[in-house]
Chain A
Amino acid sequence: MESYGYAAPSSVAETVALLASSAEQGQATQILAGGTDVLVQMRSAGHQARTIIDIKSLAETNRLEVNADGIYIGAAIPSAVINETRALQEALPGLLEAADLIGSTQIQGRATICGNLCNASPAGDSIPAMIAAGAVCDIATSSGSRQVPVEDFLVGVGKNALAPGEFLLGLRLPMPSANTKDAYLRFTPRTEMDIAVAGVGVSLTVTDGLCTDARIAIGAVAPTAKLVSAAAEAILGTDLNEAAVHAAGEACKAAASPISDKRGTAEYRRKVVAVLCRRAIGVAKQRIQGS
């Protein structure tokens, strides 16, 4: 029986080389950042021993940059740190409120939004918010790096687009303009420590009273979080009147393909995702008016 190993490489090149050599030797690997999903999975029955590759010693994964050219959130940055970063509170309040909904204070001390993305749970709260904010995955590959929009990074329940030998370095996001704001709302039976029944992330740009740009994404109502272009189109060019906002909600409902489980029936989830869409648009609009 194989046993667990541990490595904390100090460069991206070393990490990629380790992934490649492990693959050649048929040794399974597991990338470790915050570990809040990984350690639980490691203890599940039948889990195969593997080499744990801790990516928290890399300069690249510890990048946290917020400036006029854009935003970079490295894969080693825990939610607690992003939520304490004032420039991010102003730039991406919706993404931060999504990250702040995930787990307890203790979990947020370790958990990363990049890990939430790689884990690819349909109900990962930060994911619709990332999609709405236009986040792009910065992926380390054997030949350098490649960039993949978050909405294309998710390929199924618990499945992401990383090829063998690749790992996620961080997320690049555009710096929102003064008249662009985001919001994330989810519904859970309890206010804390719960998993979304449905969630909606919204990013709006309002210029002279008209919506000139919008991105709307839904979560927990399909195998993966997804961008709903039809919802954004429903409000583009409008003054965000009730009819337009209602149409956006209906587009989210139409894009949902939920399951029924103990948290809610498929029918209920479709109804709730439309309501959350309307409300999240309202929150983002208020943020633009208030800024």
Chain B
Amino acid sequence: MARLQVETVINGENKEFLCDANQSMLDVLRDELGLTGTKEGCGTGDCGACSILVDGRLVCSCLMLGVESGGKSVETIEGIAGEEGLHPLQRQFLENAALQCGICTPGFIVASKALLEKNPNPDEETIRYWLAGNLCRCTGYDKIVRAVQDAAAEMSHPA
């Protein structure tokens, strides 16, 4: 069966790729486009490690077909840092030691960015509910929640 040709925008750049009809967006990112920052955890939408933004909406890339990205704007962990350096969330994850093995981290950062765009000053409960679909088996979550709170504070009151 012929592969499907798809045109999309990833992290602000026009991209064109070929994929199979049943190939997930996660597999397209990692295997066709070499964007391996997005991780596969469970592959069934339970763990959030593969979180990406599609037209600004937070989704699991394992539960989306690559072909569905046609005509959409996709943002992955690779697009989070700006030219001037790390995003405040990335910096605060480091400052707070909010990661150990790191597999869940890209998903947490992408999901947290989506939260802060919707709600620049979330309380702890809001953060915990928003991130309930991101699983971390190392940190116990407290440091992650603090990193998001510190990033929110930094972004609303730039030094």
Q: Residues on A close to B: CB < 8 A?
A: 3-6, 32, 35-36, 39-40, 42-43, 49, 52, 54, 56, 78, 80, 103-107, 109-110, 192-193
Assess the B20–A106 pair: CB atoms within 8 A. no
**Considering residues A39, A40, A49, which has the most beta carbons from chain B within 10 angstroms of its beta carbon?**
A39
Known interface pairs A3-B21, A4-B20, A43-B44; 8 further A-B residue pairs with C-beta atoms within 8 A, sorted by A's residue number? A3-B1, A5-B1, A36-B63, A104-B134, A105-B58, A105-B114, A105-B115, A106-B133
A-B residue pairs, 3 tightest by C-beta: A104-B133, A6-B21, A3-B1
Q: What distance in Å separates the Cβ of A183 from its nearest Cβ neighbour in chain B?
A: 20
Assess the A80–B43 pair: CB atoms within 8 A. no
CB-defined contacts of B62 to chain A, threshold 8 Å: 39
Find A109's partner among B46, B59, B67, B129 (CB 8 Å cutoff): B59
Instruction: List 18 A-B pairs, Cβ < 8 Å.
Output: A4-B1, A35-B64, A35-B68, A39-B63, A39-B64, A49-B22, A54-B68, A104-B132, A104-B133, A105-B114, A105-B131, A106-B51, A107-B45, A107-B60, A109-B58, A110-B59, A192-B132, A193-B132
Assess the A6–B63 pair: CB atoms within 8 A. no
Assess the B64–A105 pair: CB atoms within 8 A. no
Assess the A107–B20 pair: CB atoms within 8 A. no
Find B67's partner among A6, A36, A192 (CB 8 Å cutoff): A6
Any A CB within 8 A of the CB of B4: yes
Find B63's partner among A35, A80, A193 (CB 8 Å cutoff): A35
Q: Mark B18-58, 1 if CB is under 8 A from A, else 0.
A: 00111010000000000000000001111010010010011
Query: How far is A152 from B41 in the complex, measured between Cα atoms in Å?
Result: 38
Any A CB within 8 A of the CB of B111: yes
Instruction: Indicate the size class of the contact surface on chain B.
Output: 20 to 34
Any A CB within 8 A of the CB of B65: yes
CB-defined contacts of A49 to chain B, threshold 8 Å: 22
| B residues 66-113 in Cβ contact with A at 8 Å | 67-68, 111
B interface, over-half SS: mixed
Query: How far is A180 from B114 in the complex, measured between Cα atoms in Å?
Result: 35
CB-defined contacts of A35 to chain B, threshold 8 Å: 63-65, 68
Find A106's partner among B1, B67, B68, B111 (CB 8 Å cutoff): B111
Q: What distance in Å separates the Cβ of A116 from its nearest Cβ neighbour in chain B?
A: 14
**Considering residues B45, B57, B115, which has the most beta carbons from chain A within 10 angstroms of its beta carbon?**
B45
Q: What distance in Å separates the Cβ of A58 from its nearest Cβ neighbour in chain B?
A: 14
CB-defined contacts of B65 to chain A, threshold 8 Å: 6, 32, 35, 39, 52, 54
Residue of A nearest to B53 (CB): A109
Assess the B48–A104 pair: CB atoms within 8 A. yes
**Considering residues B22, B65, B134, which has the most beta carbons from chain A within 10 angstroms of its beta carbon?**
B22
CB-defined contacts of B20 to chain A, threshold 8 Å: 3-4
Residue of A nearest to B115 (CB): A105
Query: How far is A232 from B45 in the complex, measured between Cα atoms in Å?
Result: 37
Query: How far is A80 from B57 in the complex, measured between Cα atoms in Å?
Result: 9
Residue of B nearest to A54 (CB): B68
Query: How far is A41 from B63 in the complex, measured between Cα atoms in Å?
Result: 10
Q: What distance in Å separates the Cβ of B79 from its nearest Cβ neighbour in chain A?
A: 17
Query: How far is A83 from B51 in the complex, measured between Cα atoms in Å?
Result: 20
Query: How far is A39 from B64 in the complex, measured between Cα atoms in Å?
Result: 7
CB-defined contacts of A54 to chain B, threshold 8 Å: 65, 68
Assess the B43–A106 pair: CB atoms within 8 A. no
Query: How far is A154 from B68 in the complex, measured between Cα atoms in Å?
Result: 29
Assess the B45–A192 pair: CB atoms within 8 A. no
Find A52's partner among B21, B43, B46 (CB 8 Å cutoff): B21
